[in-house]
Structure 1
Amino acid sequence: MSMPTPTEREQLAKAFKALSSPNRLAMYLDLLAQEETSVPHCCLGDLISRLEIGAPTVSHHIKELVNAGLIEVQRDGKFVRCRLNPVMRQRLAAFFANA
């Protein structure tokens, strides 16, 4: 098992901190489930309705997940589409595979 670099450890710590919130963890898991059904992204409105969380709260959590490098957002007109950051997903998978 190779030890993550200091930068990688900092990125992982930010990701773990972001995922320590039950709402953010639920959002991340929802996006993960969407990705596994071959849907590459999810609209904010879909998250709001599926998770029964208010729009301002979802927006706050999305910002935290983006800042932690866990997800990426893309604006498409009036829609905001979210998807998992594939680099961070791989980094997390490698971390847990070697833990």
Structure 2
Amino acid sequence: MQSEIETVARTNLARVLESDVAPQDIDPDQDMVGTYGLTSLNKVLFLMAACDDAGVDLSCFTEPDVAAMSTLRDVTEALSRHAGKAA
């Protein structure tokens, strides 16, 4: 069963991708840029929306944190670490 955070991340990633990939078809361990063609701008849009929907303050993440998020699993784990913390 997917966590709520993973569902939020999948939905928001599918929304910004140029390709027509359903949220449930996204492989959490594939590189978002190499496999799905995620652009830098779309990564920012994706992370902003995912943070909003997960209740995580985007300022929790540094530039290196964001750069290290190359897979959906990376994003889900990062969001999960900060979910529920007061901003």
Q: Which has the larger radius of gyration?
A: 1
* Structure having the larger proportion of residues in helix: 1
TM-score by structure 1 length? 0.35
* Structure having the larger proportion of residues in strand: 1
Higher relative contact order (CA 8 A, sep 6+): 2
TM-score by structure 2 length? 0.38
